[in-house]
Chain A
Amino acid sequence: MATTTEPEAQVIDAALADFRQMMASDGYRVLWAPDPAPAPDSATEAGTRLTVTIEAGPEACADCLSPTPVMEAILQKQLAGTPYTVGSVTLPSGH
């Protein structure tokens, strides 16, 4: 599994705070992990791609989930000031 050091984790968590809050309004949790391996011919630099996982909480509103491109656009914007980029967004099963 990929590892991330503690200060790096803080940078990512801080960047994603607003997004987390927004997703929580619809009952979703946001988790992230560094990509284990880059996509073929990835132009991204070492260890900076994140896999973001959206998990449905018990009260999640199934119809309320933002479209994936919208979530990706938000994540890219939120991470813009950090060395990290979004590799992929994984949605709860059924989406």
Chain B
Amino acid sequence: MNGPAVDTRSELALEADARGIRDVLERYQENGWTDGLPVVPVSESIVDEFLATSPLDPDEVLFATPHLNRELTVRYAAINAALAGCRPEYFPVVVAAWKGIAQEPNPRKGIWQSTTGTAPFTVVNGPVRERLDINSRGNIFGSGHRANATIGRAIRLALINVFGLRPHQLDQATQATPAKYTAVIGENQEQSPWPSLHTEYGFAEDDDVVTSFVVRSVMHIEARHTQEAEQLALDFTDSITRTGAFIHEYTNALLVLSPEHAQVFAGAGWDKDQLRRFIFDHAYRSRGDLGRVGKDAISHHARWRLAAGHPDAIADTAQGSQTPDRVPALAAPESVQIVVAGANNAGVSAVVEVFGLNPRLRPSSYSAVEYRTS
């Protein structure tokens, strides 16, 4: 045999038709069946492996947008999960995320065509995090974990492919957010001093549950300076009440606390409700603050914030209250949701800005993860 002088094969000793594979991936790109990154080719036998993990009928509709005359069946959720690079065993989590999204008020009405440019954001609780290696510790918003990366991408690819939400076409986002590629985190239940997010809905710690948010941004909070619960809570509150967050009368937030920050509150004897209540009580801006940025009134058309001098302006709710100069940023303590995630190595947390125009009991929806038992 006249082999090459130098053996260039990798340690894996894998051989493949790399050019052939590239050609296939280029076809997916040409068809627009992608978020821009390479996708994983999907055949019927592969889809079957995904469908076999779910108890649902492949024709069951998970999410529909009547105004676009489009709906997503379990089968197409599976095709796009495979396309995104999920392993078949991730699929029940993808399905649960879709069930959460379907309960949210804004996606079905077209918020993902809107200029605001929001993204789905998924929190996973329960032992499924360990089984699938869903990252809940270091680098939660970063890259590097297949389950986090591909479960979120499964949602995006279906939005692009099945609902036609392509940028410059049906997706008219002005700028959007990097979370549109993928945004899935696990809660770091093991290093949280508090009961986990899903226990607030009545589930047990070892139930597998997905919580779905529609988010505008993930805001980094640097607070390595204090062990005082009040100081730390006020630092978060200041970010929640930034004037840029005021689109309507109120905003919502998902506080993603590092274990270290959560411990500061727990050490002071605060539970999650106490932290929520503290933030709610302090989350307001003065009328003057809002006046300076031209957001001290609301529009009588859409109740969006605008300047008091605008011809469409009417008074906001606070104006008619006992304290008209104190304008609250939150409608209720529950407008702040709290999870613990990230490495236990620094005083770094995040405020995830949750989209929502009107007050709700909780600015998110949830679904238990369902498995096929046979």
List residues of A whose CB falls within 8 A of some B CB.
Answer: 2-3, 34-38, 40-49, 76
**Per-residue CB proximity of B298-338 to A under 8 Å, as 1/0?**
01111110100001100000000000000000000000000
Picked from A2, A3, A42, A48, the residue with its CB within 8 Å of the CB of B357 is A42
Residues of B within 8 A of A2 (CB): 300-301
Does chain A have a CB within 8 A of B220? no
Does chain A have a CB within 8 A of B178? no
Q: Which of B108-116, B151-159, B271-279 contacts A (4 or more CB under 8 A)?
A: B108-116
**Per-residue CB proximity of B223-263 to A under 8 Å, as 1/0?**
00000000000000000000000000000000000000000
Q: Are A45 and B106 in contact (CB under 8 A)?
A: no
Q: Are A47 and B356 in contact (CB under 8 A)?
A: no
Does chain A have a CB within 8 A of B105? yes
Residues of B within 8 A of A44 (CB): 302
* Cα–Cα distance between A75 and B105 once the two chains are bound (Å): 23
Given contacts A3-B312, A47-B312, contact A41 B358 (CB under 8 A): yes
Number of interface residues of B (CB under 8 A): 21
* Cα–Cα distance between A43 and B105 once the two chains are bound (Å): 9
Q: Are B301 and A41 in contact (CB under 8 A)?
A: no
* Cα–Cα distance between A44 and B172 once the two chains are bound (Å): 13
| Chain B: CB-nearest residue to A40 | B358
Q: Are B301 and A35 in contact (CB under 8 A)?
A: yes
9 inter-chain pairs at a CB distance below 8 angstroms, sorted by A residue, are A3-B312, A34-B301, A37-B302, A40-B358, A46-B312, A47-B299, A48-B302, A49-B302, A76-B67
* Cα–Cα distance between A43 and B114 once the two chains are bound (Å): 8
Residues of B within 8 A of A40 (CB): 105, 358
Smallest CB separation, B70 vs chain A (Å): 15
Residues of A within 8 A of B356 (CB): 41
| Chain A: CB-nearest residue to B113 | A43
Q: Are A42 and B109 in contact (CB under 8 A)?
A: yes
Residues of B within 8 A of A36 (CB): 300-301
Residues of B within 8 A of A48 (CB): 301-302
* Chain B 95-113 residues near chain A, CB threshold 8 A: 105-106, 109-111
Q: Are B105 and A41 in contact (CB under 8 A)?
A: yes
Q: Are B357 and A38 in contact (CB under 8 A)?
A: yes
Q: Are A46 and B105 in contact (CB under 8 A)?
A: no
Among A3, A35, A45, max chain B CB count under 10 A is at A45
Residues of A within 8 A of B304 (CB): 45-46
Smallest CB separation, B336 vs chain A (Å): 18
| Chain B: CB-nearest residue to A46 | B302
* Cα–Cα distance between A46 and B106 once the two chains are bound (Å): 16
| Chain A: CB-nearest residue to B298 | A46
* Cα–Cα distance between A81 and B311 once the two chains are bound (Å): 25
Residues of A within 8 A of B312 (CB): 3, 46-47
* Cα–Cα distance between A65 and B303 once the two chains are bound (Å): 34
Residues of B within 8 A of A34 (CB): 301
Smallest CB separation, B309 vs chain A (Å): 15
Q: Are A46 and B299 in contact (CB under 8 A)?
A: yes
* Cα–Cα distance between A41 and B331 once the two chains are bound (Å): 14
* Cα–Cα distance between A42 and B304 once the two chains are bound (Å): 11
* Cα–Cα distance between A5 and B110 once the two chains are bound (Å): 27
